[in-house]
Amino acid sequence: MRPWPWLSLVSVVAACSSTTGSPHETGAGAGGSSAVTTTGSTGSTAASSSAGTTSGATGSGGGDAGGACAHPLTEYASGDGSVTYYTFSMGAAAVNCGFAVLGESPDVVDHVATGNGQYFGAMDAVDYASAAVCGACVEVTRDDGKQVVVTIVDQCPGCQAGHIDLSEQAFLQLGTASEGYLGTGNKGAVGVISWHYVPCPVTEDVSYLLKDPTNQYWNQILVQGHRYAIDKVEVQVSGQWVSAVRQSYNYWQAGSGDLGAAPYQVRVTDINGDVIDAQLQLVAGEQKSSAQFPLCQ
């Protein structure tokens, strides 16, 4: 559910045909090792992967340069965006991208590098694109120069294209709670809102969760803590690389979900074409890697 501040109800009704969210799903997972392969217009830098070692990987927070920056995601950088805010106390029990909720009042989501976990947002269904923007970071700017960077962790099914339902703490960096809805270029009464994607200010390396860490015959994989949006996940099954399908709740399933015997070899590609390889075990808990996607140029 995405309830709205009462003062902005008229504007919100115009912008959102519904404020009912979709079911959220979360999971649990495991730990392993990884390496990164940098690809792109500048060529490629090979890296190998083995348990406990990482070659060619950037450190937490990065610094190494990747290939050319890709811009495949739709942005609203010309004053045609809009924002509102929500809190978990309004009825949300989880976030649609599968990341763990760590606290309420203030609301905090795990693997959110923006605002110490408090600056996040729910993307409209069109731009959410079946979880394609999960974990990506967006810089939102108001016409008076105020701005905030948030991590996308959720979706707002009833919101129109270009709209982000922000956490309350993120919204307050742009306006007051009484304003409620910002974005005159997207049916709002006040504030010109623009937003575009930026690298997440990560201080961690990429990590993974398995949907069912006790099931050797079926599983799905959640990728967390990445600098850019994820484009592709592949899993080696019976000696062949199989492209996984992203679920609307941000887990990835390869084929029928039967990955064979652990350990599982996983290859993750971000929107810039950079690749991280990982080896996952069939165990509960996060599977922490020692690699992060490099900053693109």
Give the residue range(s) of CATH 2.40.40.10 domains in the chain: 6-25+72-198
pLDDT over 50 (residue 188): yes
pLDDT in tens, 52-102: 322 233 333 344 678 899 999 999 999 999 999 999 999 877 999 999 999
Give the residue range(s) of CATH 2.60.40.760 domains in the chain: 32-69+202-288
* pTM for the model: 0.82
Query: What pLDDT is recorded for position 279?
Result: 97
pLDDT in tens, 196-219: 999 999 999 999 999 999 999 999
Query: Is 125 or 33 the better-scoring residue by pLDDT?
Result: 125
CATH of domain 6-25+72-198: 2.40.40.10
Classify domain 32-69+202-288 at the CATH topology level.
Immunoglobulin-like (2.60.40)
pLDDT in tens, 232-257: 999 999 999 999 999 999 999 999 99
As given in the structure block, the two tokens for residue 23 are: 């079911």
Mean pLDDT of 111-128: 98
Query: What pLDDT is recorded for position 95?
Result: 97
